[in-house]
Amino acid sequence: MPKFAANLTMLFNELPFMERFAAAKAAGFEAVEYLFPYPFEKDALVQALKSNGLTQVLHNLPAGNWDAGERGIACHPDRVEEFRAGVDQAIAYATALGCRQVNCLAGKVPAGVSPAQAQATFVANLKYAAEKLQAARIKLLIEPINSYDIPGFFLNTTAQAVAVLDAVGSDNLYIQYDIYHAQRMEGELAATVQKHLARIAHVQLADNPGRNEPGTGEINYPFLFRHLDAIGYTGWIGCEYKPRTTTSDGLGWIKALTR
C-alpha cells in the first residue's frame, strides 16, 4: 500500500498555510511536504507537525526569488555563495523539523550561460551540498521538471538526472521522481522507475493533462501503485497536484485507486 504525503503548497490551499497541517491530518494523511519552510518560524512549524502527529518528509533548498519567477539557482554560475548559504539554511530547518530529505531545484539556465557552464556549476554545487547534508544525515535530491511548465529549466529527464548523479559521484545524492513531470517529458514510467529504483529516494504525483488528482487524466495510477509495491519502493509519495475543486472533495481517489 503506498504511503501518501500531502503537499501543503498545493493541497488545502483554500486555507491559510499554518491551518493546512490540521486539515491534512483530518483527511487521513500521516506526512506532509511543501516547497519552502523559510517564510515561517521553525518553532511554529515544529509545533504544527507535533500537535497533528505528522512527519515532514521533504522540502526544497532555497530557490532564489520564487515570486519573481526564479525556480532555483543551482545552475547559476554567479550565485554560488548564495547557494551555499541556502544549504546552511536548509540544514537548520530540516534538522529542526526532523526532515530527512531536501530537494535541490536546478533552476532555469540564465541568459548568456552555456549548457556546459550550467552543468559544471550544478555539479559543483551538488558536490558541496551533498557532503554538507550527509554530515547532517539528510539526503539530497534533484528533480527533473518538464520543459512545458517551466521553459528553460536545466534538468528535464531521468537520464539527465542519472548523468548528473554519476558526475557528482556522491552516495548522498538521489532522484526525486515526479510522475507528472516524467509523463510529460518521457513516458515509460514503470520501466524507468524500476530501472533506477536504487537511485530514487522520493516520488511525487499528479495526473496529466491538467496536473489534477490521480484518476482525472491519462496516467494509469492503479497499475503504477501496484508496480511500485511490486518492485519494492518503500518511500513516501508526495501528492503535489492541483485539486479540481477543494482538496477534501477530491480525495476519494486514494481509496478508489489503491484497492
Active site residues: 143, 240
200/60 Cα distance (integer angstroms): 16
247/161 Cα distance (integer angstroms): 31
111 contact partners, CB below 8 Å, separation of at least 6: none
DSSP-based three-state secondary structure for 216: coil
Question: Between vectors from CA 50 to CA 174 and to CA 59, what angle results, nearest 5°?
Answer: 25
Encode 6-31: b = buried (16+ Cβ within 10 Å), e = exposed. Answer: bbbbbbbeebeeeebbebbbeeebbb
Residue 214 in grid coordinates:
490521480
Cis peptide leading into 209, omega within 30 of 0?
yes
For 118, other C-beta atoms within 10 Å of its C-beta total 21
Query: If you search the block for the grid coordinates 503537499, which residue do you land on?
Result: 7
Residue 213 in grid coordinates:
488528482
51/123 Cα distance (integer angstroms): 39
